[in-house]
Structure 1
Amino acid sequence: MLQNNYFSDVADLQLHFDHIINWKEIIDSYENGFTDAAKYRAGDERFATAPSSYDEAKEYYKTLLESVGEFAGKEIAPFVAELDREGVRFKDGKVIFPEKLLEIVRKARDAGLQPTGFSRKYGGLGVPWSVRAFFSEILYRVDASVCIAIGCVNLAEIIEKNGSEELKDDWLPRLAAGEFACAMGLTEPDHGSDLPGLRTRATLKEGNTYLLNGTKRFITQGCGTGEIPAILLLLARTGNPGSGARGLSFFLVQSKDIQIAGIEKKMGLHCSPTCEVVLENTPGILIGEEGHGLVKHTMGMLNGARMGISQQGVGIAQAALGEAKKYAAERIQFGKPIETIPAVRKILRRMERETMAMRCLMLEGARAMDLYYFRGEHLKEKGATDRDLKSDVVLKYWERLASILTPISKFYCSESCVKIAGDAVQVHGGAGFTEDYDVSRIYRDARITTIYDGTSQIQVNASIGGITTGMSNHGFLREYIENEWSHFPTEETKLLSDAWDVYQDLMGIHKDLPASEDKEETADEIVWATARLLSGLLFYRSTLRMPEDSRTERLSHVDEYNLDSLGYMEGLRARLKIKAASIQAV
């Protein structure tokens, strides 16, 4: 792997941080008038790192990203090939990690780089989603397994959102300090996406403690990390067997009280243990309210989970791009570097523009998360009721945008990163099919992104309703697109405008398909077209926020991306017309 600072060595990341992101709106939402800094001035040392101005906030965020970039490129990158070869092992009921991985996790903990998901009150870094997006992309770029081992503790942010004050005070400071890893326990041997059918039972013992019995499968880091134990956040049934989603509750369980039956032998993520967990009268602490485990608590964290995989997709794509460009510059064929060969140059340029567009979509999702999530939290701190929150127009706008963008982003960034990783293997030729180069591991690790935290098909199901209703005459998605469009100069957006016209046409054809099965069959293509339209729009918007002297090259990438999108949409429109005509003929 390249051994640079993984924040400062990507010009596009620098552009987004320095120019494209509107930090004022993010800081206003997250820092809430710099109230944490006021608490520090009042003597509360927990808020010592809190910024007291916009400049301080931006500088604090950038310092963190430079630190994690340096850590990724210098402390992790030299060892990822070795870690991938060694992997984790299961022996005598225990998961055995490579010592180098445990050393890296300890270094990350000691450097204070782990708790991105917790507020400063509990010992977290205290950063908004937009900063976490950079943070995660950087770590996922160097190695997904290591990133999971370092960052899995942040799954426990669900405790900060839904736990009692006693539970938060008891657990969050220890989690932020790195005393525990964290795992999410949703999937069971017979129930993956079908969460309402879960069978693990929870029986009230006393107070807030229950006894859990059942089996969980595909539980990442369920064993902890070496000497670091884990807490598991589990869904279990407190209602009767037929109670469905409303019979499920959310629990905190400690890894010392469970059995690890084994770990999966996987295509990729070799240093990330995927465990089968057995619960036999295992003590569990209820998080939130009984019966709200799936409907309120689990569904409430899905936006964050989806954004995490979007960030992973962009990080892996950036890794693939970096390795492909390096190889193409060094590999000499026919007396010249292969990067100069038109067929190879074409692949590299496509990889670059696709990665840049993915990043625009992913960061817009993070922006929406920032502008609804933290506004809601601050309103609740001021005593707002659930009714107040539901009637807040600004909050509702950003919540709706996040709900649309996050599944689209997860779907698009994960599917795209697999394609880009495949392109990187192609650039390497026969060498890419060996284990001698990092692209082999990158390609294997990329493949899981379309599967975990909700398959691509689940993301399509989660997206399509918001897209079809959102594109009605006064729909929310149409309103969002047209509002952004109103700031664009028409002389630079011909290709994007053509794509928008074709997109509206094909959406009308899709809407008029008579059978729901026909609509479902083409839903993935509609979501893909929507993702490309949104990415192209945001990609172009990014050029309006950067220095004029560096716009020309970026605009050429934007035009090429939107031309690709236009071609895809015209093809989809033609296929939908044929489908509609064949249905009418019958």
Structure 2
Amino acid sequence: MNYQSPLRDFQFVLHELLQVPSMMQSCGQSEFDADTIDQVLTTAGQFASEVIAPLNAAGDQHGCIMAAPGVVQTPPGFKQAYDEYTRNGWHGLACSAEFGGQGFPSVVDSAVTEMFGGANMAWSAYPGMSHATYVNVAANGSAEQKALYLPKIASGEWAGTMCLTEPNAGTDLGLLRTRAVLQPDGTYSISGTKIFISGGEQDLTENVMHLVLARMPSSPQGVKGISLFIVPKFIPDASGGVGPRNAVTCGSIEHKLGIHGNSTCTMNFDGATGWLLGEAERGLAGMFVQMNYMRVLVGVTAIGVMEAAYQKALAYAKERLQGRVAGAKPSDQGADPIAGHADVRRMLLTQKANVEGARALALWTSQLSDLQRLHPDAAKRTEAGEMLGLLTPVVKALASDLGVESTLLAMQVFGGHGYIRENGVEQHLRDVRIIGLYEGTNGVQAMDLLGRKVLGDHGQRMNALLDMAGAFAETCTPRKAMREFAEPLAQLVADVRQLTAELVGASANDPHASGAAAVPYLRLVGHLALAWTWARMAEVSINKSESTDPIYASKIATARFYFQRILPQTAALRAEIRAGSSALMEPALDLL
């Protein structure tokens, strides 16, 4: 079956939980009302299910090919789908009207991104990366650079990439060797090799704007000496159109586990002409604008993929007859649908709790980026930015981990049929696995959360999150219908607050304390965020208990499942964190 947009769930989260139309009105943009947002969601869902989802399996099997040296062909149908996407204006959805976009809030754009990622992750990565370059240039570019490049990205005529990784420099970008030499005309000659470049070369657009990290000869070693450059595939001419070919070529396409329809390239820069983007030797800070945007984006994409896998598993479980369910009515078919078996329900409800909880959390995180940019109160903008920074690594790492775990459960629901290509689940598993690796591995995200965001300010930002979740729990506890959610949430808030204080103290005495605790700590904070999110969704649904809309009963039931069957995992996480670093660091290397 092809992916179908969970439209009603998006409406629940955007309109009822997050109250996006009211937020936009308070920010002076009342034109983005519920009806307008719903029109976008409906049309995006149709494009996802009717245009790009049918290309998903075929694109995986065909993959991208090197048609000639340096010439990449995307799978059949990708170019036609991209052209339709461009004609319909999707590229400009969240771009500023100043540059030809429609100016929709990021939270709506994230919902659309999830749909496209669930329908066809490989295809959606092309426009996704391009919009990330738009975000970067909009934040760091000169007026001339914005005027030249942003309308081209917003229209979809040109694409964009992010060129960081080198064969010898992955997470430690201070080791990069790509050089930028100033030329008499003020441009730079860029030389070096970048690997793992998503969409580095393709046949979808007439030009590609590469954003490249490089070092000037006079700059210091390490990350403080890195600058950021715009290096287009074709140098723009005097009118802003496509001019002569630049000295940048695709050396090869990576052969990888999944997302075969996305051209992941090795890019060679052989004295290519580039232009400085932002300040010299401030390139890493400039690139982090794009990376942080991408971290939320790929987390959202992981949610889309696990939604697609869940849809397949649920449909199969309702149709597949196997064994008799205890207490079920007699059936002349001799067997019952496996969806009635307790363990299959456990797997289905785990997927449902993961995908719906992560969706609401990720969309709230995207909403924070809107509040950071649009809220009329400067203090509120600062507060939203602080919370966005805290949650970005959580959304990226948690969603990508849950994406793999949930897709594995979908495969398990299918049994042996889940291992077969024709049913599509094994492709979802292969595709989603990359999200835990790129834009900074999930271990890096965990160290960012604990080492920089929590220990860096002695837990102040984390305490702000705990205060909000704790205040919600305290307000809801007196209500009998909310007690089953509010009380365990309040206890978890207290547990995380105590554990965070312990880690602040331990890190002062043990250099390995944060590294040993980082991954389980991020997962623990992820559960805190999910528990608060599910409690909030339960409250909305309880307040609508008289409605005949089935979504409210479904939300309450899933929240109850999450609190009773998934949240207890936090006890094991707390024990793991408190075990410290000794068991990790004491064994000699030859004992590993």
The interval holding the TM-score normalised by the smaller chain is 0.7 to 0.9
Check conservation: 1:141, 1:315, Cα contact below 8 A: yes
Q: Which of 44, 54, 58 in structure 2 is aligned with 1:68?
A: 44
Residue 90 of structure 1 corresponds to 66
Indicate the percent of aligned positions where both proteins have the same amino acid: 25
Other structure's SS at 2:92 match: coil
Distance in structure 2 (CA, Å) of the matches to 1:563 and 1:508: 27
Which of residues 440, 454, 466 in structure 2 aligns to 1:467? 454
Query: Residue 193 in 1 paired to residue 190 in 2?
Result: no
Match for residue 501 of structure 1 among 481, 494, 505: 494
The residue that corresponds to 2:329 in the other structure is none
Shift in Å at residue 115 of structure 1? 2.5
The 2-side partners of 1:577 and 1:472 are apart by 21
Matches within 5 A, 1:152-551: 152-157=129-134, 158-226=136-204, 228-238=206-216, 240=218, 242-255=220-233, 256-257=245-246, 258-295=248-285, 297-334=286-323, 335-375=335-375, 392-465=378-451, 466-468=453-455, 469=457, 471=459, 475-490=463-478, 491=480, 492=482, 493-513=486-506, 514-546=509-541, 547-549=544-546, 551=552
Range moving further from structure 2, 546-555 or 408-417: 546-555
Match for residue 87 of structure 2 among 80, 88, 110: 110
Q: Could you say if the C-alpha distance between residues 548 and 489 of structure 1 is closer, same or farther in structure 2, counting changes exceeding 3 Å?
A: farther
CA distance in 2 between partners of 1:225 and 1:488 (Å): 55
Instruction: Pick closer, same or farther for the CA change 1:548–1:225 going to 2, 3 Å.
Output: farther
Farther-moved stretch of structure 1 (483-492 vs 195-204): 483-492
CA distance in structure 1 between the partners assigned to 2:42 and 2:231 by the alignment: 35
User: Is the Cα–Cα contact under 8 Å of residues 249 and 269 in structure 2 kept in the other structure?
Assistant: yes
Q: Please report how far the alpha carbon of residue 425 of structure 1 lies from its aligned counterpart in structure 2 after TM superposition.
A: 0.8
Per-residue displacement from partner, 1:277-312 (whole Å, max 9, x unpaired)? Answer: 1111100122122222112x1123333111101101
Q: Distance in 1 between matches of 2:204 and 2:579?
A: 57
Change (3 A) 1:120 1:500: same
Q: Name the CA shift for 1:581/1:502 in 2 (closer, same or farther; >3 Å).
A: farther
Supply the distance in 1 between the matched residues of 2:109 and 2:356 (Cα, whole angstroms). 18
Deviation at 1:26, TM superposition (A): 3.5
Normalising by the residue count of structure 2, what TM-score does the alignment of the two structures yield? Answer: 0.86
Assess if the C-alpha contact under 8 Å between 2:79 and 2:203 holds in 1.
yes
One-letter amino acid of the counterpart of residue 260, structure 1:
C
Deviates more, 1:555-564 or 1:173-182: 555-564
Change (3 A) 1:240 1:371: same
Shift of 1:198: 1.7
Higher deviation after alignment, 103-112 or 512-521: 512-521
In structure 2, relative to structure 1, the CA distance for the partners of 1:115 and 1:196 (3 Å cut) is farther
In the TM superposition, 1:51-62 aligns within 5 A as: 53-54=30-31, 57-62=33-38
| Structure 2: distance between partners of 1:474 and 1:403 | 11
1:472 positional shift: 5.8
User: Bigger shift: 311-320 or 228-237?
Assistant: 228-237
Q: Is the 8 A contact 1:533 1:565 kept in 2?
A: no
SS in 1 for 2:180: strand
The structure-2 alpha-carbon separation of the partners of 1:498 and 1:130, relative to structure 1 and needing over 3 Å to count, comes to same
Between the aligned partners of 2:474 and 2:101, the Cα distance in structure 1 is 39
Counterpart secondary structure, 1:182: strand
Partner SS state of residue 91, structure 2: coil
Q: Quote how far apart the aligned CAs of 1:92 are.
A: 2.6
> Following TM superposition, by how much is the alpha carbon of 1:495 offset from its aligned partner in structure 2, in angstroms?
2.4
8 Å CA contact retained: 1:310, 1:409: yes
In structure 2, the CA distance between the partners of 1:164 and 1:241, relative to structure 1 (3 Å rule), is closer
Change (3 A) 1:424 1:566: closer
Task: Say which SS state the counterpart of residue 98 (structure 1) adopts.
Answer: coil
Q: 2:12 aligns with which of 9, 15, 26?
A: 15
TM-score by length of 1: 0.87
CA drift at 1:474: 9.4
3-state SS, counterpart of residue 512 of structure 2: helix
Deviates more, 1:437-446 or 1:469-478: 469-478
| Consecutive unaligned residues in structure 1, runs of 5 or more | 35-52, 380-391
Per the alignment, residue 37 of structure 1 pairs with none
Q: Distance in 1 between matches of 2:389 and 2:296?
A: 11
> Given residue 270 of structure 2, which amino acid in structure 1 is its aligned partner?
E
Say which SS state the counterpart of residue 434 (structure 2) adopts.
Answer: helix
Partner of 1:118: helix, strand, or coil?
coil
Q: Deviations over 1:117-141 (max 9, x none)?
A: 4211111131111111101110011
* 2:466 partner letter: R
The structural deviation recorded for 1:226 is 4.1
Secondary structure, counterpart of 2:101 in structure 1: coil
Q: Does the aligned pair in 1 maintain the 2:161–2:210 contact within 8 Å? A: yes
Give SS of 1:516's match.
coil
1:566 CA displacement: 4.2
> 1:444, 1:457 → 2: CA distance?
20
SS at match of 1:310: helix
Say if 2:126 and 2:198, in contact at 8 Å, map to a contact too: no
| Inter-CA distance 132–473: structure 2 relative to 1 (3 Å threshold) | closer
3-state SS of 1:336 partner = coil
In structure 2, the CA distance between the partners of 1:556 and 1:236, relative to structure 1 (3 Å rule), is: same
Q: Does the CA contact (< 8 Å) of 1:181 and 1:224 recur in 2?
A: no
Closer, same or farther: CA 61–553 of 1 in aligned 2, 3 Å? closer
Match of 1:282, SS state, is strand
How far apart are the structure 2 equivalents of 1:154 and 1:359?
A: 20
Against the structure 1 CA distance between its residues 206 and 118, is the aligned structure 2 distance closer, same or farther, given a 3 Å change threshold?
A: farther
How far does residue 436 in structure 1 lie from its aligned partner after superposition?
A: 1.3
How far apart are residue 405 of structure 1 and its match? 0.6
Offset at residue 413 of structure 1 (A): 0.6
1:318 partner amino acid: E
Q: Which amino acid aligns with 1:130?
A: V
CA contact (8 A) 1:108 1:150 kept: no
Q: Is the 8 A contact 2:513 2:581 kept in 1?
A: no
Cα distance between partner residues in 1 of 2:39 and 2:568: 42
Q: Which amino acid aligns with 2:91?
A: Q
- How far apart, in 1, do the equivalents of 2:578 and 2:294 lie? 36
Distance in structure 2 (CA, Å) of the matches to 1:405 and 1:316: 21
**1:202–1:18: structure 2 CA closer, same or farther, 3 Å change rule?**
same
Q: Distance in 1 between matches of 2:287 and 2:489?
A: 37
Aligned residues: 544
Using the alignment, how far apart are the partners of 1:427 and 1:459 within structure 2?
Answer: 30
The whole-number CA distance in structure 1 between the counterparts of 2:275 and 2:210 is 11
Question: Residue 115 of structure 1 contacts residue 151 of structure 1 at CA under 8 Å; is this kept in 2?
Answer: no
1:101 CA drift (Å): 1.0
Check 1:472–1:16 CA distance in 2 against 1; reply closer, same or farther (3 A cut).
Answer: closer
**1:495–1:559 contact (8 Å) kept in structure 2:** no
SS of 1:240's equivalent in the other structure is coil
Unaligned runs of 5+ in 2: 234-244, 324-334, 585-592
Secondary structure of the residue aligned to 1:223 is coil
The one-letter amino acid of 1:111's match is: N
Distance 1:22 1:92, change over 3 A: same
